[in-house]
């Protein structure tokens, strides 16, 4: 069974983990993009929930996930510090400069 054909909620969760795990340092990815990459393109909101419930012990770089506008997660100001320490540029207090820091999966060079 390939992961793309998986159906259950736990498979979705694992798929999200898998994608987030691959976001390079200094780059960010949106909930919507992650949803697309997992094969569940309409579950952007659920990506957020999965990450919110992710145990810290997994050590996923969930701070590299922002919304489509580049906004960091509400009620998690520490995310900004984490991203700044990786060199991610911000346009404002709450928004990442997506033009500079969004991870474009296509660009492999």
Partner DNA sequence: AAGTTGACTTAAA
Partner DNA sequence: ATTTAAGCCAACT
User: Site residues (CB under 7 A) for DNA?
Assistant: 9, 30-33, 42-49, 51-52, 54, 62-63, 65, 67-69, 71, 73-74, 76, 79
Distance of CA 65 to the CA centre of its chain: 3
Nearer to DNA, 27 or 46 (CB): 46
Q: Shortest approach of DNA to residue 37 CB, angstroms? A: 12
Residue 62 makes CB contacts below 8 A (sequence gap 6+) with 20, 51, 54
Q: Sort strands 29-30 and 65-66 into parallel, antiparallel or unpaired.
A: parallel
Pick from 33, 65, 63, 35: nearest CA to 47: 35
Nearer to DNA, 73 or 88 (CB): 73
Nearer to DNA, 26 or 48 (CB): 48
Nearer to DNA, 57 or 109 (CB): 57
Q: Shortest approach of DNA to residue 81 CB, angstroms? A: 14
Q: What's the burial of 97, exposed, middle or buried (CB within 10 Å: 0-12/13-18/19+)?
A: middle
Q: Shortest approach of DNA to residue 42 CB, angstroms? A: 4
């Amino acid at each position: 069974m390939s992961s793309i054909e998986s159906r259950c909620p736990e498979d979705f969760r694992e798929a999200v983990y898998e994608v987030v795990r691959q976001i390079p340092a200094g780059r960010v990815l949106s909930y919507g993009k992650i949803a697309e990459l997992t094969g569940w393109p309409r579950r952007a909101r659920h990506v957020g929930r999965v990450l919110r419930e992710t145990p810290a012990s997994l050590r996923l770089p969930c701070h590299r996930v922002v919304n489509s506008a580049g906004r960091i997660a509400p009620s998690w100001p520490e995310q900004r510090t984490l991203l700044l320490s990786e060199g991610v540029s911000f346009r404002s207090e709450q928004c990442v400069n997506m033009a500079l820091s969004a991870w474009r999966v296509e660009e492999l060079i």
